[in-house]
Amino acid sequence: MKLSEVLWMNTLFYEIVSFSMQPTLRSGDLVVCSKFSLKIKRGDIIVFRESGGSYTKIKRVVAIPGDDITYRGKTLIVNSMLIEKRYISDLGPYDVSDVGYTQSLFGKAFSINESYFGTYHKVSKSDIGGYFLLGDNRDHSTDSRHFGLMPKSSFLCKAKLVYRESEHTKSSLPRLKWL
């Protein structure tokens, strides 16, 4: 078997159909995923299927097995370290209650959205045995705050590249971005 065939057989394409990962991934984006690289780190974006579930989902890994995690209100603490966020801006006329932030999770920087009036959650787990996943659109995401920890066996692939149609960007060229 040729290397190109092996690579093709271990690549999945995933279309984003919700707003739970905005602003990183938007509805309509196409994500290229690899089944090869399932060495999971905090900050990775994972496509998975819940136990007994028929739908696939995509979320960001914020804690790995062995971590201590606390998510209280809108504050994330991993292994006693406050995961700070930096204000970017209010998100505009259609999302009047949403605010954009940047956040860095153990060296991996990304953007998140939160609402002024969003739901407050309280989760605290010590020495977790699974993966704690969150959507980047924190107040509009069903994630580990709702369905709990996810075992690695539920992971289908790791997101590597996003393709965004040109109509969503100011450029006339399609946008490719490594994740």
Tell me whether residue 20 is one of the annotated catalytic residues: yes
Host domain of residue 32: 3-178
How far separated are the first and last CA of the chain, in Å rounded?
28
* pLDDT greater than 60 at residue 107: yes
* pLDDT greater than 70 at residue 71: yes
Quick: pLDDT tens for 118-152: 666 677 777 778 999 999 999 889 999 888 899 99
- In the set 2, 39, 54, 59, the catalytic residue is 59
Tell me whether residue 59 is one of the annotated catalytic residues: yes
pTM above 0.75, yes or no: yes
Q: Residue 77: give its domain's CATH number.
A: 2.10.109.10
Q: How many domains does the chain have?
A: 1
CB atoms within 10 A of CB 41: 13
Position 119 scores a pLDDT of 63
